[in-house]
Amino acid sequence: MNIPYSDRKRIVVVGGGFGGLQFTKNLPAGMYQVVLVDRNNYHCFQPLLYQVATSGLDPASIAFPLRKTLRNKDEFYFRIAEVEEVLSDQNTIRTSTGDLTYDYLVLATGSATNFFGNDKLEQNGMAMKNIPEALNIRSLLLQNFEKALLTDDLKEREALMNVVIVGGGPTGVELAGAIAELKRHVLPSDYPDLDFRRMRIQLLEAGEALLAGMNKASSSKALRYLRDIGVEVWLKTAVEAYDGKAINTNTKTLPARTMIWAAGVHCKPPKGLDAEALVKNQRIAVDEFNRVKNYENVFAVGDAACMESDAFPNGHPMVAQPAIQQAKNLAKNFVREYKGKEWKPFKYRDLGSMATIGRRKAVAEIIGLKMQGAFAWLVWLFVHLMALVGFRNRLVVFVNWSYNFINYNRDIRLIIRPFEPTTSNGEHNDKFENSAAAEVKAE
Amino acid sequence: MNIPYSDRKRIVVVGGGFGGLQFTKNLPAGMYQVVLVDRNNYHCFQPLLYQVATSGLDPASIAFPLRKTLRNKDEFYFRIAEVEEVLSDQNTIRTSTGDLTYDYLVLATGSATNFFGNDKLEQNGMAMKNIPEALNIRSLLLQNFEKALLTDDLKEREALMNVVIVGGGPTGVELAGAIAELKRHVLPSDYPDLDFRRMRIQLLEAGEALLAGMNKASSSKALRYLRDIGVEVWLKTAVEAYDGKAINTNTKTLPARTMIWAAGVHCKPPKGLDAEALVKNQRIAVDEFNRVKNYENVFAVGDAACMESDAFPNGHPMVAQPAIQQAKNLAKNFVREYKGKEWKPFKYRDLGSMATIGRRKAVAEIIGLKMQGAFAWLVWLFVHLMALVGFRNRLVVFVNWSYNFINYNRDIRLIIRPFEPTTSNGEHNDKFENSAAAEVKAE
């Protein structure tokens, strides 16, 4: 893979998400040679993906060029590649652009959407784990309204306008809230010839409550907020099948041309790892130093890593904070290693969690404090703004949020892609022709 | 196409560029039924496309949702469709989503990149007339640097780093200047293992001078500015062939994996128009009222229209100003028509032209005044900022420009697309495998 040889030991980091980025940022220059590998040339701030999907932010605002984070750090390299396999007996990874040897390997490979093996769901549902997927959701939503204008079939028009979101975690809750705001403030004036009383936004959750990771008060407040702004929430409702037109659940059938799947993630570690190291959801079992089970020089952090403890028998939650904290601790341990000092085990500080539902509506639990409403919403805005990587991004997001708040608007409702008469979820648009026929008939 | 019937006469406007947008904005509600048709749901501010291509702006900053411009105007409709044919004997257009009848038809279909029938050029060269094309250029530029890191073949690496721009009009000049700034201020710290003295930016112009539409002083100043910031300019140099690896001209062969084609445009009007109405470059011949030759109720404005006059024997320049002014005049004439008044012929006010080369470097000719350097550059910034559609866009572009000016930076160097191991110009990346082989060999 054309990395210059060095006297320093080489650390290869796979993945430029929260874990991989924090690790490389926190490791000082001058001790190791570091190679960061990602399939994209940017870091993506996943907590705000839902705003890209709902026309509130452009992708560039939540993405940051990874090369820039390594600037001016001697012997820190970046390569775009897909990592395919770990050949640990040769201390080598095999990638789409060639092999690369390592002295230490840090896997920060994150997680992917889990459709639980249901191919039809995967084929017809929309995932939202990266920027192209968020843009696909934005395009599908907007294209479906354009199509709704073209049909005279009332049932079909309703199905095109309906949106079903599966999964009542923070992603599903925030997405449902954002779409409800679109319905309220933006879409009716964009599409004056559609009757938006017909548009339904439905959030399905298999469990008994929304935001399972938060306490009951937050969960029921989120439920009330969502219902207040017109989201229908169905608890204890599990999706069984989706053919692209109607969603079958254990209790009912919901016609909808858009189903967004935020109901679970699993890991997709590279091939070649010891089977004993792979646990539930394909996470990689690590010890308290983030060292992978049965390996000496392979580490995993973040979503990809499962560090069992008394407080977290199934590993830490698969969100940003554990990834960031583990990466920082691991970077410090590599400094200790370089200096010949003893490694320190990871200690998790739970900073809490939060979810925003809409204007002045959020729930938050931070260092033991429970907040709801406008104050929680301000805290949410502030925390997310500060967590963004890059000053320009913070500035642009702040401008967009201020503008959208004042104007009740989302100006980024753009379908930016080559014009294609098929939708992104693979369905052919017989609708267009039907409608042409309808017009001819009407003539 | 499902447009409600109305007592009012229906004007169908094809195209939401400068011409179509101005026409619909300037036509008051309450007189006609108006249907705006475009293949995209947004207006694209083409003069700043080159900044999207060179990582200075994100696409959302120069795009504006067309539906928003029609808001609150009674009986103004928008439809996404590709217009295929004009059936003028039936007063109908045939589109990808069905037929649509009209009382008046306004063609504002703009222009497309003209490769002069050279298929190889079209296949291997990059056009830059819309947002997806600008994003393709951005991705190709960045991907080629990533690839340059992976090869040990010096000639190949140089070809990957070289950029050739064909066409010395404002687009070519501004693009060359922006890429030179990337080379100077951004790329070397992003790719410390590449030697940027090897990167060549070459601008080819078949004619005798750059910026043929401007006077000699501006033209030679632009040439000096470009050479000052490291662009090699080849005048009287015409491209004959390009195989994706090397560009053959009448005088020399230039190895380059990136060739951007800004050397000409032509029109692609819908089928079905009278052959007599189509003139040079497939522009549509119109009279001084923008009425298409041999038609009573079909009009054309902007690039698509060719209005011959003493001052402009080949029609007006194919830029924004004639389109905007013709559209405004035509809208006023439709108001006069509604009120039973006489139509007024179009009169062109030449507001001048300008091109920016880089930081504090521009040339401008405005209402007879010639400006160069920092002042021309400030005027350029101000005029383009004010011409953008949408307050949010102006705000975000202002923030980005200020940030980039202060930091000598371009933070939007993101390759946002699904990961693909082939480049966007269709070439297969044997490079990746070669490099893997090189790595294995080096081991």
Mean pLDDT confidence for B407-420: 76
Residue of A174, A181, A205, A365 marked catalytic: A174
Same CATH topology for B10-111+267-338 and B119-263: the answer is yes
Q: Is B131 within 8 Å of chain A by CB?
A: yes
Of the candidates B42, B98, B396, the beta carbon closest to that of A414 is on: B42
Mean pLDDT confidence for B161-176: 97
Which CA distances in Å does B18 have to A283, B81, B240, B318, B364? 53, 18, 33, 11, 21
The CA angle A373-A377-A381, to the nearest 5 degrees, is 175
At A422 the pLDDT is: 35
CB contact under 8 A, B191 and A67: yes
Residue of B75, B174, B205, B365 marked catalytic: B174
In CATH terms, B10-111+267-338 corresponds, of 3.40.50.300, 3.20.20.120, 3.40.50.1000, 3.50.50.60, to: 3.50.50.60
Q: pLDDT tens for residues B183-235?
A: 999 999 999 999 999 999 999 999 999 999 899 999 999 999 999 999 999 99
CB contact under 8 A, B391 and A414: no
Q: pLDDT tens for residues A130-177?
A: 999 999 999 999 999 999 999 999 999 999 999 999 999 999 999 999
Of the candidates B2, B143, B411, the beta carbon closest to that of A65 is on: B411
Mean pLDDT confidence for B9-31: 97
Let me know: does A241 contact A249? Beta carbons within 8 Å. Answer: no
Size of interface A-B (CB pairs under 8 A): 196
What is the reported pTM? 0.91
User: Which site among A411, A423, A441 would you substitute to test the B interface, given the most B Cβ atoms closer than 10 Å to its Cβ?
Assistant: A411
Query: What residues in B contact A415, CB-CB < 8 Å?
Result: 40-42, 80
At A432 the pLDDT is: 30
At A424 the pLDDT is: 34
Shortest Cα–Cα distance, B364 to chain A (Å) = 30
Shortest Cα–Cα distance, A435 to chain B (Å) = 6
Which CA distances in Å does B204 have to B177, B189, B257, B259? 13, 28, 15, 10
Domain B119-263 has CATH 3.30.930.10: no
At A374 the pLDDT is: 95
At A416 the pLDDT is: 80
CB contact under 8 A, B2 and A151: yes
In CATH terms, A10-39+81-111+267-338 corresponds, of 3.50.50.60, 1.10.8.60, 2.102.10.10, 3.40.50.300, to: 3.50.50.60
At A61 the pLDDT is: 94
Q: pLDDT tens for residues A278-318?
A: 999 999 999 999 999 999 999 999 999 999 999 999 999 99
Query: What residues in B contact A100, CB-CB < 8 Å?
Result: 439
At B411 the pLDDT is: 86
Rounded Cα–Cα distance for residues B212 and B169 (Å): 7
Largest CA distance in chain B: 85
Q: Quote the ipTM score.
A: 0.89
CB contact under 8 A, B98 and A150: yes
DSSP-assigned letter for residue B184 = I
Residues 147-206 of B with CB under 8 A from A: 149-152, 189-191, 193
Residues 364-383 of B with CB under 8 A from A: none
CB contact under 8 A, B68 and A439: no
Q: Is B228 within 8 Å of chain A by CB?
A: no
Q: What does the domain layout of chain B look like in residue ranges?
A: 10-111+267-338, 119-263
Q: pLDDT tens for residues B308-322?
A: 999 999 999 999 999
3-class DSSP string for chain A: CCCCCCCCCEEEEECCCHHHHHHHHHCCCCCCEEEEEECCCEEECHHHHHHHHCCCCCHHHHEEEHHHHHCCCCCEEEEECCEEEEEHHHCEEEECCEEEECCEEEECCCCEECCCCCHHHHHHCECCCCHHHHHHHHHHHHHHHHHHCCCCCHHHHHHHHCEEEECCCHHHHHHHHHHHHHHHHHHHHHCCCCCHHHCCEEEECCCCCCCCCCCHHHHHHHHHHHHHCCEEEECCCCEEEECCCEEEECCCEEECCEEEECCCEECCCCECCCHHHECHHHCEEECCCCEECCCCCEEECHHHEECCCCCCCCCCCCCHHHHHHHHHHHHHHHHHHHCCCCCCCCCCCCCCEEEEEECCEEEEEECCEEEECHHHHHHHHHHHHHHCCCHHHHHHHHHHHHHHHHHCCCCCCCCCCCCCCECCCCCECHHHHHHHHHHHHHC
Q: Which of B430, B413, B423 is nearest to B144 (CA)?
A: B423
Name the stretches of chain A with pLDDT < 70. 417-443
Q: Let me know how many helices (H) and strands (E) chain B has, helices first.
A: 14, 24
At B417 the pLDDT is: 66
How much is the mean pLDDT over chain B?
92
Neighbours of B233 (CB within 10 A): 21
pLDDT at B426 over 80: no
Nearest chain B alpha carbon to A437: B98
Q: Is there a catalytic annotation at residue A208?
A: no
CB contact under 8 A, B41 and A193: no
At A417 the pLDDT is: 66
- Domain A119-263+375-407 architecture: 3-Layer(bba) Sandwich (3.50)
Let me know: does B239 contact B216? Beta carbons within 8 Å. Answer: no
What sign has the CA pseudo-torsion A418, B132, A123, A139? Answer: negative
